[in-house]
Structure formats: C-alpha cells, structure tokens
Structure 1
Amino acid sequence: MSYTDPHFDPESGPGSGSRPRRPRRGPLTVAIAALVPGALLGWLVYSNVGDHDRTQGAGSVRAAGPSADDGRDGDAGAGASASPSATARADGPLRGRVIVIDPGHNPTNSLHTAEIDRQVDIGTNHKECDTTGTETNSGYAEARFTLDVAHRMRTYLEHLGAKVTLTQDGDRPWGPCVDERARIGNAAHADAVVSVHADGSAAGNRGFHVILPASVHAGGADTRAIVGPSRELGTLIRSDFARETGTGTAGYIGDGRGLVTREDLGGLNLSTVPKVFVECGNMRDSKDAALLTSGAWRQKAALGISEGIVSFLRGERPGR
C-alpha cells in the first residue's frame, strides 16, 4: 500500500526482509514424494493455469505456467465460484488439518463503495469494512491476483489432505468485511490462516513481506495467544516464499528482514488463530508487476506460501 494515495489499501502494508534460505531437507521431502501420482493428477485438473510438474530435490513442486506477459488469471475472476475445489486426499500428510486462505479484497468491491466504506470495530479502533485494493499500472487488480493465488494454494494443500476454506471465492458482490474475514478463520478453528495481498507502494520499491499481528488487548481484540505461533508461521513463509519465487524481501519498510508487525489490521487483531498477511510484491513497480502478472510466477508464489504453511503445521522451527 501507499500511505499517500487514498486509493491504496489500508489493510495492506510495505515491508522488508532477508535473503532466501537454502532449501531444507527433512521428513517433508519423503511425505511429498509419496504423493507424486495424486498431486500430478491434481495439477492436470488445474491445467487451465499452465502445465505443472513435480520435482523432489527440496521436497517441493516446481511449476511451469503462462509467460510473464500473459497475465492470465487461471480460474480467478468472473465465474471462479463455479470451479469446484479439488478433493482433499484422505491419506495426505495434512489430513485433519484446517487451513483458511483469505484472498484480499474482492474483484467487484469498486461497485459497492457504500458497503465497503462502512466502519467496523477492529478492537483498537474503527476502520473501513474493506477496500478496493491496488492494481498495476496496466490495470491488473490486486483482487484478481489474490484470488488466483488462493486457488492455486487450495489445489496444492488439498492434495496434501488439508481441509481448505476461502473467505471469499469471487462468489459475493463485495467484501467480506475485515472483521468477518477474521471470524471465518476463528469459526473454522483453523490451524493456520493466511491473507494474500500485493502492495501498492511507490515505483522503485520492490520485494515481498509478511505482516505479523502485534500483541493487542483492546475491545474485542486479543491477539496475545497467537502472537508467538503467528510469528513462527510468518517466518517460515518468508523463507519458503523467497526460496520458491527467487524474489527478495522488501527493503522499503521495517528493518530489512521481511517481517513487519502491525496493530491496525482488523483481520489480524480479531483473529484467535495463527494468522499472517503476505504482501507478495509491489504492483506499482514495473519489475514486480511483471512477476505478479505472470501465471508461472504466481504458481511459485502459491507454492512458497503453501510450503511455509506445511512447514508450520509439521512443527518446524524457523530460523532467525
């Protein structure tokens, strides 16, 4: 987001970071390798976003997709709700786990400004129900980006056996409001919640960052129990996202490590389960925009976030 342009999203934010870690090898490699046939089938079902292949090396999936100048959304946008979610594998390593993915904003929020401008209580103060989000200079909307990445994540995580819920799937005219987004994760008793976003900072500012909840105890907000696990989740996502996408953490805010703590986001303040925001890049920078509009890169982004979630659910301890 930009703090100077009122059209940018106050539920997003700039960040900073560290260099990618070397790939980890461990029990996850074996578990993922065992799922090759089923996972490949899942990616074939998802062929409208590109051809995908699974490799083992670091226990991850490398995927090929549309070129950087293609800008296709896969199953995001209009009609997305008609695309059925993949069936969770009963024998997957994440069976019994619940993951909520929160695609930031909504593609048609701009048609419902009165509804999304309504103030909601986020514990520390009141703010807008939701916003329109940002977009690239060529008009590729953040809401389209977040929904596409969320669909790719859902496909991957369900083939590992997780139950995956999206807070919105392009199936409602606006919202949900930030407080409702938090309640969806809470009601699901999610093991992890990730809100997917892209930033709208100034041109020249590049990279991704992860936003963590501050320790908040005010009004209806009490994050004290989730601050620790949310930091672990965010730190693991930071490392896996950097490794899978090959992109660096943002250097235009924070201390340069890609982790930013905030107390002004209702989606975090009102959560009672581990939750983070991931700002995948800066839509207003031409180099970052070339990545964000690439189906192949969005596949890597979805994989990086998903692998961070998997690492967290397997109890891995993040590095500093």
Structure 2
Amino acid sequence: MRVHRPGFAALAVLAALSGGCGGAAPAPGGAGLPAPPGTGKGPLAGKVVVLDPGHNGGNAAHPEQVDRQVDIITKSKACNAVGFRTADGYEENAFAWSVTQHLRPLLETMGAQVVLTRSNDEGIGPCVTERAAIGNEARADAVVSIHGDSGKPSGHGFHVIVPGLIAGRNDEVIEPSRKLGLAIRDAYRAGTGMPYADYRGEDGLRSRTDLGGLNLSTRPVVFIECGNMRNAGDAAKMTDVAFRKRIAESLANGIKNYLTGA
C-alpha cells in the first residue's frame, strides 16, 4: 500500500491543533491553520469541521506548481487547478473563499472547531493530496469542499459529489459520506431554493472516484458544486453576496443536521 506523507500544510494543522503553532504564519501554498477551538457550547461543541474552499487565487500564475502530477489512488492528476469563472469573470476560487468566510463563523457559533485548507485567496494550491491530509490529520467529523461548476450554459442547479467505492481503500467512509451528502443536499435545496442540477448527477447527488480530495480522505467528505457558473441564472445568484450568505447558512444547517443526527 502506498503511504501518503503529508506536506507542510498538514503538519502545520497538526501542530496548531496541539497548541504548538499559536500565531504562526500561514503555510506555503496558502494552506490554512485551524481557528481557535469552538466555544465549547452549542450543538457542534467538540466537533471538528474542515472547510476546503476550492482552488486558490494564485493558481493561474503558477502552472509549474499547480500542474505537477500527484497520485490520487485511481490515477495521476494535477496537484490543483485554476477553477472556472462566470461570463463576467467572477472566479470560482473567489466564490468558494467568500462562501467559506460566511460559513466559518456560523459553525463556530454552534461550537465547532473549523479548519480551513487555505488561509487566503492569494496563494497557490495546496495540492489535493495536502487538502485531504489536513482533514485526515485533524480527525475531522465532516469535510466539505466548496466549488462552482462549469456545465453547458443551458444547464443549471447544484449537486453534491460523494466518494465512489475504491475497494479496500475507502470502504469505511462511503456510508457516512453519503449521509453527509444527503444532509447537505437537502439543506441546500431548502435554504437556497436552487434545484438539483439538470445536467449532471441524479437527484442532486453524484459519485466519483477521480477526485483526490475524495479518494484520499479517511473522514466523511463531500464536494458541493453550488451552481453552474456558465449558466446566466446560476451565475447571477453566485455573484450576489446576499445569496452567498444564504448558501453559507444552508451549508451550516446541513453540516449541523449531519453531525447532530437531526
């Protein structure tokens, strides 16, 4: 069995979780450090949630780093990617970062400790392998990767991606990840009014084995494609800060419902 050795980003998270990194600067590649522990009160007290805002603002300027191939078990794939954008140029990395910034305090108010896989929207990466390692080594109770999709312009809606089975490698995360995916799917639809994607997935869910963040996770994990950035209607919502706040509220409810068994 090939063993993944975590990079500096994941090791920084471990140190911070154990109290050894207080006040340290962000790790190279834009990798994030955990927030201070949750309040200790609220429905998510004692829970660790890892938020993975997709891509990063500096990725496009550094293809030599971003395009480097890494092993994601089922294949080799680029370390990270640039991400998509709307017709007006609003970038997926900025969208994901904004949603995360609204979502993080909502979860912390519920008592959760929140770990981010990157600390800003100006860095590079980190690689998908490191993002998965951050969740694993933080012993996350839930990992949620936030994205915007790029489908045909006529297609619209959202979908949640859950891990596909890789026999002998991720058997234990399949069922809890599906439960997390269903909780987020239901809360997202109820909170945003967005329909299930009509161009990918089925009933708002899709299973994949070609994403490193899913394949390498040993914790319950999902990706959410919050809308189709190439669709004019979806793009109008995703570029609206008020709607991004609704997205964050919906995701917070979904995460809470999963972690509390609601």
CA change 1:246–1:123 in 2 (3 A) is same
Alignment of 1:135-154 (within 5 A): 135-154=85-104
Structure 2: gaps spanning 5 or more residues:
1-29
Task: Deviation per CA, 1:235-264: give whole Å up to 9, x if none.
Answer: 010000001101111011233x01000000
- Aligned-pair CA distance for 1:171: 6.4
Post-superposition offset of 1:161: 0.5
Q: Name the structure 2 match of 1:181.
A: 131
**Letter paired with 2:189:** A
Over residues 295-315 of structure 1, what are the superposed CA-to-partner deviations in whole Å (9 max), with x where a residue is unaligned?
A: 111011111111111001012
User: Are the aligned partners of 1:86 and 1:155 in contact in 2 as well (CA < 8 Å)?
Assistant: no
- For 1:250-289, what aligned pairs fall within 5 Å after superposition? 250-255=197-202, 257-289=203-235
Of 241, 245, 249, 2:192 maps to 245
Number of paired residues?
A: 231
Shift of 1:89: 2.1
Structure 1 segments (4+ residues) deviating >4 Å: 84-87
Aligned to 1:133: 83
Distance 2:42 2:125 in 1: 32
What corresponds to 2:236 in structure 1? 290
Tell me if structure 2 keeps the 8 A contact 1:203–1:284: yes
Structure 2: distance between partners of 1:272 and 1:163: 18
**In structure 2, what residue type is equivalent to 1:288?**
D
1:22-33 to 2 correspondences below 5 Å: none
Cα distance in structure 2, aligned partners of 1:254 and 1:172 = 32
2:74 to 109, 115, 124: 124
Matching residue within 203, 210, 235 for 2:160: 210
Q: 1:9: which partner in 2? A: none
Task: Within 5 Å, give how 1:67-146 maps onto structure 2.
Answer: 88-146=38-96
Contact preservation (8 Å) 1:102, 1:196 = yes
Report the equivalent of 2:178: 231
Which structure has the bigger radius of gyration? 1
Q: TM-score, normalised by structure 1?
A: 0.70
Q: CA deviation at 1:88?
A: 3.0
State the alpha-carbon separation in 2 of the partners of residues 171 and 254 from structure 1: 29
State the secondary structure of the residue aligned to 1:226. helix
Identify which range, 270-279 or 301-310, moves more after superposition: 301-310
Q: Aligned equivalents of 2:89 and 2:146: distance in 1?
A: 19
User: Aligned to 1:308, which of 254, 258, 262?
Assistant: 254
Amino acid at match of 2:217: S
- Aligned-partner Cα distance in 1 for 2:44–2:242: 25
Whether the 8 Å CA contact 1:208–1:278 is kept in 2: the answer is yes
Residues 133 and 142, structure 1, Cα contact 8 Å, conserved in 2? yes
1:161 aligns with 2:111: yes
Q: 164-173 or 114-123: which moved more?
A: 164-173
Task: Please give the alpha-carbon distance, in whole angstroms, between the structure 2 residues aligned to 1:211 and 1:230.
Answer: 9
* CA deviation vs aligned residue, 1:211-255 (integer Å, no higher than 9, x gap): 00011147xxx2110000000000010000001101111011233
Contact (CA 8 Å) 1:117, 1:130: kept in 2 or not?
Answer: yes
Native 8 Å contact 1:87 1:159 kept in 2: no
Displacement of 1:170 in angstroms is 1.4
Residues 159 and 201, structure 2, Cα contact 8 Å, conserved in 1: no
Instruction: Please say if residues 112 and 174 of structure 1, whose CA atoms lie closer than 8 Å, have aligned partners that are also in contact.
Output: yes
AA at the equivalent of 1:140: Y
The share of aligned pairs that are identical, in percent, is 47
CA gap of 1:98–1:112, structure 2 versus 1, over 3 A, is: same
| 3-state SS of 1:203 partner | coil
2:57/2:93 contact within 8 Å kept: yes
Larger RCO, structures 1/2 (Cα 8 Å, 6+ apart): 1
Unaligned runs of 5+ in 1: 1-79
**1:91 Cα deviation (Å)?**
1.7
